[in-house]
Every structure is written in C-alpha cells, then in structure tokens.
Amino acid sequence: MSRRGSVATPQPFRTLARMLRRLPPSGLLLGTALLLALGTATRAEVPAVARPRAPSAAAPNGGGTAFFLARPDGQGAVAVTTAHAFDLGALGQTGEVVFELGHTGTRVSVSSRLHAAPGRPFSEPDAQLADDFLIFGLELPPQGVSLLQPDPGDPTGLVGERVRILGVPPSPPHDQDDLYGTVREANDGRIEVELDVPADLRGWGGAPVLRTPGGALVGMLQAMWPEDDHLRLGVAPIGKLAAALAAPLDGGLGRPLASFAPATEDGAEEEKPALADQLAVAPAARELPGEGALLGRAGVLSTQIHLQIEQPLDGAVVGDSQGAFVAGRALALLGEFRRFDVVLVLDTSGSTMAASGADINGNGVVGRNRFRLFPSDDPGDSVLAAEIAAARQILEGLDARNTRVGVVTFAGRSEDFRNPSGGTVIRIGGSAGPPAITEEGLTSDFERVERALRHVLERGPADNTNMGAGLRQAIRELKGYRGGLSTPDPESEKVVLFFTDGAPTAPYDPADLRSNTLSVLRAADAASRAGVRVHSFAIGPDALKRPVAAVEMAYRTGGYFTPVRQPGDLSEVIDNVSFANIESIDVVNLTTGEAASELRIQADGSYGALVPVRTGLNRVRVRVRASDGSEASAEVSVGYAEGVKPTRLPRELVALRNRLLEERLITLKRGNVDTERQVTERTRKELLLDIQRERSAAQEAAAKQRKELELEAEPIEAP
C-alpha cells in the first residue's frame, strides 16, 4: 500500500516494489516497466464495489460502500451495505437507492425495495457488528461489477489468515482499490483485522473483506481504531447476513422502501432524526398534576426522550490522557420542541436586603442581619445577591446555540396600591413606577444577560412584592405580547424560573394576602393557557410560611416547586434544576466498565463528561432517565491513541470541557477520587431528600393557607 494517503497496493504489487528497491540501476528500467504493467492490470480488474446514493436529501447517504451477491434462488442479485449508512425511515420517504461506480459515476443498478429484513446499526444498544447490514433487491441486473461468493463458515477459523479489503479510494482515479491485513481475533459477533499499513478509510464502511488467496467473502468493514503502529479494523462476519439473504421478505419479492417510512396517526409522513445524530427516542406517558396542566387540561400527555451525542463523532480518535470528552443533549419534553426560551424572574423587593447566611461575594465574611432598615452588614451576601448568583450559575450551564435567556425583576415599584373592595386608594410613598421590569429581553448573547444581572445587583432591593406582575411580564416576553421587548419563537419550549423570598404584598393592600394571592393565581392560569411552564423557588423561612402562591404557580403550569429554607443554599439547589425534565444521566465506557470521572448536567439538558478510555476502540454509552421514570440510551465508538491532536470544539463546548477539567483537578488535589465522588453523591442525595421534606411541608402549609384564604371558593381563571 502506498503511504501517499489512500492509494491501496495489492500484495503482489507491493512485493514487486520491495524487489525493485534491491535492483541495481541496470535492472531498474525493466523492473519499473513490470511494475507499471502490473499496476495497469490491477486497475483493469472488474470492480466489485460501488457507492450507494439516495437521490433525495431526505435520506442522507452515509458515504459508504456497497457490494453485490447472487441471490440463493438464482433469481438475480442483491446489493449489500451497512445499516448505519442510511436512516431507514427517511430512506422510505425517498423510495429509491442508486448504486454507482466510485470514480466514473457509472450507474450499476437501482433499488426500490429491501430484499430481506433490515439489520441494526452496531451503535444501537445490544447490537453487534454482525447485525449491521441492509440487503437491497435490485430492479436491474448489476452492470460493470463482479458478484462476490460468500463463505459464511465459522469465523474463528480465520485467526491468523490474510484478508483483502475492497473499497473506493477517496481521491485517486480508480473505481476500486484494495488493502491487506491479518485477522487477529474473531467470533460470531466480530472479526478484528490488523491492517498492514495505515490508510485513508473514508467511505470504506461496508467494504467487503475477502479471504486470500481464494477471494471468498468472509466479512464487511464497519469500524476502525489505531493500535500501536497499525490500524485495527472492526469487521462484521457474514453469518447473519447470509441467513437473512436466504430468508427474503414477502416470498422473495422484497418489501418496498416506502413501507419503511414512518407515519403519523393520521397517515401523514413524519420526519425522523438521522442515525448520525445518535438520537434515541423513547415514548412514555407522564401524568401532569391537577387541572390547568401545560398544553391544556389533558390528564395524560405524551412525552419523548431525545438523547443526542454531539461529541465525539462515532469512530473518532482522541488522545487526551484525561479521557474522552463526551457531550450532547438530553430532553424529555411534551411535543417536539428543540429550543428553550427561559426568563429568569427575580424578586427585588425590600426584604431581599436580608442576609442570606452565606458568603455569596466570596470576600471571606458572611454577612449578618443588623436591624430592620439595614438588614445586612455585607450587602454582597444578601438574598438578592444569592438570587443573582444562582441566575449566573444557571446561565453558565446553558447552551446559547439552542437557548435564549431574558431577565425580569419585580418588586412593587412605589406605585399606588388598589383596594379591591373600592374606596380608599392606599398610597405607598415615592414616585409611581412599574411593578415589573424587563431588564433584558430574550437573547442568546449571554454577555447581555450578565450585564443585566450586574445592573440589578448594583441597583439593589426596594418596595413590596408584586409576584403576579413579575409572572405576567415574563409571559409577555415569552409570547411576544405588546409591551415586551422580545421576538417570540413559536417553536420553543417556554420556561420561567421564578425566585421569591416572600408572599405577595401587591398590587392590593399589603395586608390583603387573599387578593394579592388571587392575582398570582390568575397570572399562573394565564401562563398555563400560553404554554408557559413555571418552576418556582421559595427562598427563606418567610416564603415557606406562606408558600401558596409559589406552590400554585408551579402546580398550575406543570412546573416544579422548590423550597430553599436557607437562602445561602440556593447555589447548591440550583445545580439540581432541570427544565429539560431529566432526572439523571450516566456515562460509562462499556469496554472498560469505568464510569465518567466527571459529569455535568445542565438545566437545559446539555451535558458533558470526561470518560476514561484505553488504547484502541472504546464503546461509550450515555443513558438518561427522565423525571417520569422513562429511559433511553445511545452509544458511540471512540478510539484512543496517545498524542492525537484534539478536535476543534464549538465555543459553548469548550467552556463546558474547561469546567470539567477544573473539577477534575480539584478532585485530584483533594486526594482519593473514589471517596470524593462518593461523598459528593451522598451530599447530593441528602440535599434532594431535604428538598423533598421541605416540599412536603410547604405543600401542607399551602393547603392550609388555601383554606384560610378561601381560595377554592372563588373562580381564579378570570383573564
């Protein structure tokens, strides 16, 4: 094989080349002539491979290789390629595959049906290399190619034997080239071949592997990984393929590709995500709490888990000693949303001047409450500062490529408070101002959001707590209603993260808790009708004494209510927030059995992990569990070779990887990694248990408060 890249040299050709190097100058001319003659004869060989191509972009071609076999019944021939070369559902929409010679583009044949039941991509859970195949019935006898003869015998007998691999080179002007190697391991599920010399194998997936001498077909090329100075190839034995070939669909007629196109309940065609995205979809049922649930008043709504592995690409080779960086996204959503619009709603009422009980600003001093007018001796440690810190923490964990963020603040803004029974208007001093402000409209420029948060902190707390106004302003931004600053996105999942440290004291008389609470509940009902989900955080003991407004706004919109008894714990609690409805993700190297050394799950479902890998091929599995208990998983194959240059990552993933590396360094500095991981996991579980206990207590308090305020006795869905 030539080392110039992708030109593959047959064994006799390479042997002669070695002989030429030993010839004296007088024999070089004759030897060169023999070399060129042999090369011409090799290139003149009738090819046995072609490129499969789907005429429509709806069925992306995997860029692989196909070969041809005679049907066992003597009724023509079939074409074979890998199952991972096409998305079968999208291929059904196209309805046709064309087979062309790799260089000249000459049409070999065409297919509109599968001859036998399709195999499965080896990246699917519990699949093997031997499962990865598609067998196409041909409309016309293949022209300009030779048919191969399968040998489906016991693959274990191949160990130590030489094999020849046929493929289409990426650049030289040939329809076929070949490579040679030696079988090192073999069983019914896979054959491992050590290639003689490195080669450019782009587009060789599905290439036939032939016994040499003899030329019998023994396998199909599926994967590769570096090992020492060689390439090790993953080859599928053809036993399962031969069995499928002998059991054709529909009595030998084959089944039309169109019959594999997915359809919706009304028969309309439905686009399915490409296999190359490593997208796993697991349907489930999720019962939403109470009436007024998100997307209407249905009792049970369908949800799907969408799991994507973005990095590394399947078959990629990494060289980082810290492990393979695995990143992607996991969503468990109602409907087909892929983007998020998130509004952070912050309570800036006067009570948020109180000390949080933690060193939020990191100056080494924990602020303490002094007296009512000046609650904290360190304003940087206030409840408002804790809210801002939590908002920043969320922001750092979001992916700007698929999430927009806005900021709304609410207080009471020194306005006139209305008496719901009429009569006296209660004036609270100062000039009138809006009870809720959009500090920053929805944007994917997170620097703008950070500036808005900094401005809120610098301005500081003031006035009362108009929770209803804050929620309505968030709805206005998410839906693009008049008075908002944001451009609406009808295709986004709309989320509010609502922070408050108290009970509503506006827009009515601060002492009229019932009327002020009803104002919040009406806003929550409006959010439900608009398809906005609210996740609320009740911060501090005062908020948990009278939690009905915070509990109800989450309950009525299908969101989550989270109690935070100690305001200083907000930053720890926020790490467990997921508006992607994901409960847990685990990332494991199935080849070694090792779990990820570091793992981060972001609020929008994006995740990142550092996974230990060994030299050679590693199968990495990502498994996700949704909040409703449903699960899905996806796998990717990763090669490891020391010194391989890192792949360029998107900016958002660079930041995530750097955070993982920082956490890894901190863990290593602390000593025992396993012990540290166990302590972290135990602490996280204890925190979740505390939250659950506080949530139960808050729900009991909310139920009691409902009765005291007679909230059930009055309609709450007025616009």
What is the torsion angle, in degrees rounded to the nearest 10, for the CA atoms of residue 450, residue 454, residue 455 and residue 458? 180
Q: What type of residue is 142? A: P
pLDDT, position 683: 59
Alpha-carbon span 123 to 83, nearest angstrom: 10
Residue 33 vs residues 15, 27, 30, 36, 43: alpha-carbon distances, Å: 15, 10, 5, 5, 15
What CATH number does residue 162 fall under?
A: 2.40.10.120
pLDDT, position 650: 82
Query: For residue 453, is it within any domain?
Result: yes
89 and 192 both lie in a single domain: yes
Dihedral sign (CA 513, 519, 524, 528): positive
Query: For residue 423, is it within any domain?
Result: yes
pLDDT, position 207: 92
493 and 528 both lie in a single domain: yes
- Return the axis-axis angle of helices 548-555 and 673-709, rounded to nearest 10°: 100
75 and 185 both lie in a single domain: yes
Query: For residue 705, is it within any domain?
Result: no
Residue 478: which of 460, 459, 497 has the closest Cα?
497
CA atoms within 13 A on the CB side of 693: 7
Indicate the pTM of the whole model.
Answer: 0.54
* DSSP structure string for 62-124: ----EEEEE-TTSS-EEEEE-GGGS-HHHHHHH--EEEE-TTT--EEEEESEESS-----TTS
Alpha-carbon span 206 to 187, nearest angstrom: 19
Residue 489: which of 543, 433, 444 has the closest Cα?
444
pLDDT, position 645: 82
Please list the residues that pair with 326 across neighbouring strands. 609
Residues of the chain with pLDDT under 70: 1-44, 56-63, 170-173, 198-200, 202, 226-230, 262-303, 333-337, 370-376, 413-433, 627-630, 667-692, 711-719
Q: Cβ(677)–Cβ(657) under 8 Å?
A: no
244 and 355 both lie in a single domain: no
pLDDT, position 688: 61
402 and 530 both lie in a single domain: yes
Burial of 363 (C-beta count, 10 Å sphere; 0-12/13-18/19+): exposed
Question: Which token pair is 185?
Answer: 């391991």
Residue located via tokens 């995530």: 656
Please list the residues that pair with 286 across neighbouring strands. 301
**Domain boundary residue, one of 549, 578, 607:** 578
**Over the Cα atoms of the chain, what is R_g?**
32
Alpha-carbon span 409 to 257, nearest angstrom: 55
Alpha-carbon span 500 to 436, nearest angstrom: 13
The 3-state secondary structure of 128-158 reads CHHHCCEEEECCCCCCCCCCECECCCCHHHH
Fill in the DSSP letter of residue 249.
G
Dihedral sign (CA 198, 202, 205, 211): negative
pLDDT, position 672: 54
154 and 60 both lie in a single domain: yes
Q: Cβ(584)–Cβ(624) under 8 Å?
A: yes
Contacts of 537 (CB under 8 A, 6+ apart): 390, 497, 498, 499, 500, 550, 562, 563, 564, 570, 573
**Sequence-ordered strand ranges (E) for 348-390:** 369-371, 374-376
The angle at the Cα of 351, spanning 348 to 352, to the nearest 5 degrees, equals 50
Query: For residue 260, is it within any domain?
Result: no
Query: For residue 264, is it within any domain?
Result: no
Domain that holds residue 168: 49-252
Question: Which token pair is 436?
Answer: 């809720």
pLDDT, position 685: 60
Domains contained in the chain, number: 4
What CATH number does residue 451 fall under?
A: 3.40.50.410
What is the torsion angle, in degrees rounded to the nearest 10, for the CA atoms of residue 331, residue 335, residue 338 and residue 344? -80
528 and 586 both lie in a single domain: no
Query: For residue 225, is it within any domain?
Result: yes
500 and 534 both lie in a single domain: yes
Please list the residues that pair with 624 across neighbouring strands. 585, 632
Burial of 3 (C-beta count, 10 Å sphere; 0-12/13-18/19+): exposed
**Domain boundary residue, one of 545, 560, 578:** 578
Q: What type of residue is 320? A: D
389 and 502 both lie in a single domain: yes
Query: For residue 299, is it within any domain?
Result: yes
Q: Cβ(607)–Cβ(328) under 8 Å?
A: yes
Q: Cβ(520)–Cβ(528) under 8 Å?
A: no
pLDDT tens digits along 640-651: 998 888 778 888
Alpha-carbon span 137 to 112, nearest angstrom: 7
Q: Judging by DSSP bridges, how do beta strands 403-410 and 339-347 pair with one another?
A: parallel
Query: For residue 702, is it within any domain?
Result: no
Q: Cβ(408)–Cβ(343) under 8 Å?
A: yes
Q: Cβ(598)–Cβ(585) under 8 Å?
A: no
421 and 501 both lie in a single domain: yes
Q: Cβ(238)–Cβ(150) under 8 Å?
A: yes
Residue 612 vs residues 570, 593, 671: alpha-carbon distances, Å: 32, 10, 18
Strands of the 403-410 sheet, one edge to the other: 436-443, 403-410, 339-347, 492-500, 532-539, 561-564
* DSSP structure string for 107-118: EEEEESEESS--
239 and 303 both lie in a single domain: no
Q: What type of residue is 668? A: L
**Domain boundary residue, one of 578, 600, 620:** 578
Contacts of 372 (CB under 8 A, 6+ apart): none
374 and 469 both lie in a single domain: yes
What CATH number does residue 317 fall under?
A: 2.60.40.10
**Sequence-ordered strand ranges (E) for 261-323:** 280-287, 300-311, 316-318
